[in-house]
A and B are shown apart, each in its own frame.
Chain A
Amino acid sequence: MDFLDSFLIRAALAGLGVALAAAPLGCFVVWRRMAYFGEATAHASILGIALALSFSTSIFAGVLVVALLMGWTVSVLSGRGYAMDTLLGVIAHSALAIGLVAVSLLQGVRIDLNAYLFGDILAVSRLDLAIIWGGAVLVIALLGWRWNALLTATLNPDLAYAAGIDPRREQMVLTIALALVVAVAIKVVGVLLIAALLIIPAAAARPFANTPERMATLAAGIGAFSAISGLQLAFLYDTPTGPTIVCLAAACFALTSILSLVRGSNA
Chain B
Amino acid sequence: MSLIRAKGLSVRHGKTTVLQNVTLDIAAGEIVTIVGPNGSGKSTLLRALIGAVDIHQGDISRKDGLRIGYVPQKLHIDPTLPITVERFLSLPCKVDPEAAKSALEQAGASTLMQRQMSDLSGGQFQRVLLARALLGKPQLLILDEATQGLDQPGSAAFYRQIEELRMSLGCAVLMVSHELHVVMAASDRVICLNGHVCCEGAPEVVASAPEYRALFGSGTQGALALYRHDHDHHHHAHDHKHEDA
A residues touching B (Cβ–Cβ < 8 Å)?
30-31, 33, 148-149, 151-152, 154-163, 165, 206, 209-215
Contacts and interface: CB of A to CB of B under 8 A. Distances in A.
A165 to B, nearest CB: 6
Contacts, number: 70
Nearest to A167: B52
B72 A159 contact: yes
B135 to A, nearest CB: 11
Given A161-B50, A162-B70, A210-B116, A152 B82 contact: no
B87 interface: yes
Residue with the greatest number of chain A CB neighbours at <10 A, chosen from B82, B116, B136: B82
A162 B69 contact: yes
A220 B93 CA distance: 25
Contacts of A214: 82
B92 A152 contact: yes
B142 interface: yes
B169 interface: no
A177 to B, nearest CB: 18
B83 interface: yes
A211 B70 CA distance: 23
Interface residues of B, number: 25
Given A159-B75, A162-B50, A209 B92 contact: no
Q: Is the interface of B mostly helix, strand, loop or mixed?
A: loop
B92 A148 contact: yes
Contacts of A213: 87
A4 to B, nearest CB: 38
Contacts of A210: 82, 84, 116
Contacts of A148: 91-94
Given A33-B78, A152-B92, A163-B92, A158 B47 contact: yes
**Chain A interface secondary structure, helix, strand, loop or mixed?**
helix
19 contacts: A31-B78, A31-B80, A33-B80, A148-B92, A149-B92, A154-B81, A155-B75, A155-B81, A156-B72, A158-B52, A158-B70, A159-B72, A159-B91, A161-B50, A161-B52, A162-B70, A211-B83, A212-B81, A212-B82
Interface in B121-140: 136
A162 B84 contact: no
Contacts of B116: 210
B142 to A, nearest CB: 7
Contact of B92 (A157, A158, A165, A206): A165
Contacts of A215: 82
Nearest to B79: A206
Interface in B32-84: 47, 50-52, 68-70, 72, 75, 77-78, 80-84
B116 to A, nearest CB: 7
A156 B91 CA distance: 11
